[in-house]
Amino acid sequence: MNTSVVDKFLEYVKFDTQSDELTNLTPSTPGQMIFAQHLEKELRAMHLSDVHLDENGYLMARLPSNSKKQLPTVGFIAHLDTSPDMSGRNVRPRIVKDYDGNDITLNAERGIVLSPSDFPELDNYNGQDLIVTDGNTLLGADDKAGIAEIITAIAYLQAHPEIEHGDIAIAFNPDEEIGQGAHKFDVERFGADWAYTMDGGEIGELEFENFNAAVARVTFNGRNVHPGYAYHKMINSIRIANQFIIMLPRWETPEHTEGYEGFYHLVSFEGSVEKSVLTYIIRDHDRDRFERRKKELEHLARKINNEFSGVCDIEIKDQYYNMREKIEPVMHIIDIAQEAMRESGVVPKVVPIRGGTDGAQLSFKGLPCPNIFAGGLNFHGRYEFVPVQSMEKAVEVIVNIARLVAQKQ
């Protein structure tokens, strides 16, 4: 398979596309539009049809069918942005050839090391070529690996017209990392019968169920008085917020849960005596447990207000839901993806997403959209890496899906 996927990836990570949930813009940062415009030119140079970039940074295009049969239109989607969790500016990747299983020094000056003792998944990639960071930024494999894989696969299909396929729709969207990637996605314009997001992790991952998700903002309004005269007057919102935190189950947090286990995750704490704000994300695969988690937060807010009258306000907003209920009626699209992987020598690993994906929201907008591996690991931080061979296999899987859809009609 064409190894240009590596060259494309190394080019794409140069674009700073870190999203920002505070701007209230779409795309949330200008770098995403700059990257989308670059990709638009690339897709036009490939002579794809229906290339369209809208004012919100959603880029779509289509590889026309080369079949005489009436075939379904299959879509492939990846997101433009990188996580707000760490800088994506001045990414300086390097390739560790033929990884030998030892520690990888990312940044000698700062003593930053990617070690199998901390990240045992490295042991699965001995002898492979790993693209790593310089320790100062994330890498951007989430999801620029997916973008590179889709474009490389489309180029491969163009270069091999003997491979029969139907219309293939592709889309690159902004702001997935802040949960808004599907908000302004025009499903009708995209025109696919179903799609796959190329946004999964390690090789073989295939996901069609994810967390139900909500965000909770809990505000504590205190009263500041000179501490020397505060007796029975001061209401310290920081202390009350801390009381709220410890009322939640200690073990139901991301660092203590796995698989299908849900959690409450405190993602930020802003506080002063006068006012403190906690932001939680709430996650659970089971819809009933998800609803109970939201009610538990509301119950704890009432308990606080019973002790400190009226100091606590809580606002909870749902973000997305488990796509499984939308995928189960069309499980043939999962079967095709598994067969495509096996034909590439990849063992499918059907796992639940311990997070969200644009595919979840798109599935509820009428576009069934499971998630396929893009190959990266340790997303959102300086220890992120992606094996070259995994990216190449992802390209093969995309090509195989296009071919299998045609064969099965």
List the catalytic residues: 81, 176
Of 172, 169, 175, 174, the C-alpha closest to 190 is 169
The first and second tokens of residue 39, run together, are 């990709």
Q: What is the dihedral of CA 257, 261, 267, 273, to 10 degrees?
A: -90
Q: Residue 285's Cα: distance from chain center in Å?
A: 17
Residue keyed to tokens 């794809």: 48
The torsion region of residue 345 among left (phi > 0), alpha (psi -120 to 50) and beta comes to left
- With beta carbons less than 8 A apart as the criterion, state whether 189 and 51 touch: no
- With beta carbons less than 8 A apart as the criterion, state whether 284 and 293 touch: yes
Distance CA 327, CA 404 (A): 19
Of 63, 121, 67, the C-alpha closest to 405 is 67
- With beta carbons less than 8 A apart as the criterion, state whether 312 and 219 touch: yes
The first and second tokens of residue 179, run together, are 């949960």
Cis amide linkage into residue 143, ω under 30° from 0: yes
Distance CA 278, CA 295 (A): 17
The first and second tokens of residue 26, run together, are 């779409």
**φ/ψ (deg, to 5) at 351:** -135, 155
Distance CA 394, CA 5 (A): 10
Q: Do the strands 74-79 and 194-200 form a parallel or antiparallel pair, or are they unpaired?
A: parallel
Residue 25's Cβ-side half-sphere holds a number of Cα atoms within 13 Å equal to 12
